[in-house]
């Protein structure tokens, strides 16, 4: 026999069922809120741990012996590993490309840094992220195009011009969507990278400054040693011969002796004057540019005057100075005294280090819109690795030859400094036992051809 439920009992059951349904729904909602709160707390704790880990590992990287350029990829690998993202990139503003243009310096993901084209972000935000609800409009359009990933997290430091971006291919329970709370994570990663980068750059600058100071100290030591020797030698000769020629001298000198000693004193005095002039010239090179008084001069006349000055020294050793054919209309806008000194130093070196009976050639010729002046000899020459030393002050490639010919190693440095003061470039090409060629290239604004329209 089937029992029948009275209508009153049926209504009570329905009310009880509705009550329990509401309670179940409330319980489910509270459970979801609790899960969300737990998830949020977990994400915040994980972000803090990630930032702390990045800082710890980044500064361990900073303590390693690496260059500023070498820390980018290890730093990016740490970011990717700790944030579990699909791709990441470090970028920097590149003013050479134009305002707002970023260039990727390092990248991990679908594209490498070399394959990433520069991206223009006219008003780059300091912080930005995209989710499935983000409208694809600037700057989301430009930022998602960097990594070719739809969900990105971006931070930009305006003071340094550096930026970092990470991205994911999808959003899910595993790959959670980015949110505003991730600002601490991405900005912390960027700040650590910038701090380490600046530290490495400071280390490089410090090492460079230390090396420059050591070079300056060595140059000063060489200068003092060279100067002491170069000054003492002629001074000893002057004092010694003068004492022998003094009226109270015990030496009985003939007229021939006195003439010989007077010539020795004169030669030593001239050598001493030349040495002091060289030192003064070198010390004034830094202020040479503002003191230049350029004027238009025929190149033929400049070469002829310089060759005439060097001919005397060449005649004593049988070295001929030859002027190569030069266009009569060619004129140079140079300081008459200073530019002649450039060529005089170069020609003097060429004569000094040429073999007896050799020929030294000097000339000027067109090279496009510019003019190249050349001093060429067939003398002792030097090795390629010695050329940078020859261009430094107080350097003597061969001390034996330097003592034989005299000088403190200032000819080439003075010539190079004065040439650069004219906006010219000086280059040296040399081969041992075959000779040396020195070229001075004047810029187009210092060259003209008389009568040219």
* Fold (topology level) of 209-283: Helix Hairpins (1.10.287)
Report d(CA 390, CA 353) in Å as an integer: 13
Collapse the DSSP code of 233 into the 3-class scheme (helix H, G, I; strand E, B; otherwise coil) and give the result: helix
Q: How many Cβ atoms sit within 10 Å of the Cβ of residue 442?
A: 23
Please give the class, per CATH, of domain 293-449: alpha beta
Q: Which fold has domain 63-204?
A: Beta-Lactamase (3.30.450)
CA distances to 88, 270, 308, 359 from 320, rounded to whole Å, are 69, 23, 11, 5
Closest of 125, 141, 135, 140 to residue 186, by C-alpha:
125
Instruction: Measure CA of the first residue to CA of the last residue in the chain; give whole Å.
Output: 129
- For residue 36, the model assigns a pLDDT of 60
The predicted structure's pLDDT at residue 404? 40
Residue closest to 154 by CA, chosen among 57, 85, 62, 68: 85
- pLDDT for residue 266: 87
Question: d(Cα 149, Cα 85) in Å, to the nearest integer?
Answer: 11
The torsion angle over the Cα atoms of residues 292, 298, 303 and 309, rounded to 10 degrees, is -70
> CB of 327 within 8 A of CB of 449?
yes
**CB neighbours of residue 446 within 10 Å:** 18
Q: Is there a contact between 399 and 341 (Cβ–Cβ < 8 Å)?
A: no
Q: Where are the domains of the chain?
A: 63-204, 209-283, 293-449
pLDDT score of 389: 78
* Rounded Cα distance, 405 and 432, in Å: 18
Q: What is the pLDDT of residue 401?
A: 44
CB atoms within 10 A of CB 148: 13
Tens place of pLDDT per residue across the chain (453 aa): 455 555 557 778 788 788 878 878 877 777 766 656 555 555 665 666 777 777 777 777 777 777 888 888 888 888 888 777 889 999 999 998 889 999 999 999 877 777 888 999 988 999 999 988 888 788 898 999 999 999 999 999 999 999 999 999 888 655 577 888 888 888 888 988 898 888 888 988 999 999 988 887 887 777 677 667 667 777 888 888 888 888 877 877 888 888 888 888 888 888 788 777 777 776 666 555 557 889 999 999 999 888 887 876 777 778 888 999 988 889 999 998 889 888 988 988 888 888 888 899 999 998 878 899 999 998 888 888 888 878 776 566 554 444 343 455 677 888 888 898 889 999 999 999 889 999 999 999 999 887 654
**Which phi-psi region, left, alpha or beta, contains residue 84 (left: φ > 0; alpha: ψ -120 to 50)?**
left
**50 CB-contact burial (10 Å; exposed 0-12 / middle 13-18 / buried 19+):** buried
Rg (CA), the chain: 40
Residue among 378, 367, 380, 377 nearest 425 (CA)? 367
The predicted pLDDT at position 376 comes to 93
């Amino acid at each position: 026999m089937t029992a029948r439920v009275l209508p009153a009992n049926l209504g009570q059951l329905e009310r009880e069922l509705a009550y329990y349904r509401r309670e179940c729904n409330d319980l489910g909602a509270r459970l979801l809120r609790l899960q969300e709160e737990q998830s949020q707390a977990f994400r915040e704790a994980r972000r803090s741990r990630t930032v702390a880990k990045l800082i710890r590992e980044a500064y361990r990287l900073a303590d390693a012996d690496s260059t500023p350029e070498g820390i980018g990829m290890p730093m990016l690998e740490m970011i990717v590993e700790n944030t579990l993202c699909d791709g990441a990139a470090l970028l920097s503003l590149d003013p050479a490309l134009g305002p707002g243009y970023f260039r990727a310096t390092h990248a991990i993901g679908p594209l490498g840094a070399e394959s990433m084209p520069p991206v223009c972000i006219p008003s780059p935000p300091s912080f930005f992220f995209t989710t499935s609800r983000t409208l694809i409009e600037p700057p989301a359009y430009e930022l998602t195009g960097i990594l070719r990933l739809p969900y990105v997290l971006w931070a930009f430091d305006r003071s340094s011009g550096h930026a970092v971006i990470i991205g994911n291919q999808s959003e899910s329970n595993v790959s959670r969507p980015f949110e505003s709370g991730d600002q601490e994570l991405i900005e912390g990663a960027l700040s650590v990278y910038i701090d380490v980068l600046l530290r490495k750059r400071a280390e490089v600058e410090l090492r460079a400054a230390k090396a420059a100071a050591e070079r300056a100290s060595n140059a000063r030591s060489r200068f003092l040693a060279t100067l002491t020797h170069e000054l003492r030698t002629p001074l000893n000769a002057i004092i010694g011969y003068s004492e022998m020629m003094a009226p109270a001298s015990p030496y009985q000198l003939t007229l021939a002796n006195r003439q010989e000693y007077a010539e020795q004193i004169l030669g030593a005095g001239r050598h001493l004057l030349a040495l002091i002039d060289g030192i003064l010239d070198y010390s004034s090179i830094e202020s040479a540019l503002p003191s230049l008084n350029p004027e238009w001069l025929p190149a033929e006349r400049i070469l002829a005057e310089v060759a005439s000055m060097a001919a005397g020294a060449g005649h004593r050793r049988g070295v001929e100075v030859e002027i190569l054919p030069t266009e009569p209309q060619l004129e140079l806008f140079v300081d008459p005294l200073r530019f002649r000194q450039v060529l005089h130093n170069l020609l003097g070196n060429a004569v000094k280090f040429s073999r007896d009976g050799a020929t030294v050639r000097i000339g000027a010729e067109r090279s496009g819109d510019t003019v190249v002046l050349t001093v060429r000899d067939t003398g002792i020459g030097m090795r390629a690795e010695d050329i940078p030393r020859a261009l430094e002050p107080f350097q003597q490639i061969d001390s034996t030859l330097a003592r034989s010919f005299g000088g403190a190693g200032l000819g080439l440095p003075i010539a190079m400094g004065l040439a650069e003061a004219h906006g010219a470039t000086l280059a040296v090409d040399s081969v041992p036992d075959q000779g040396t060629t020195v070229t001075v290239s004047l810029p187009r604004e210092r060259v003209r051809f008389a009568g040219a329209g």
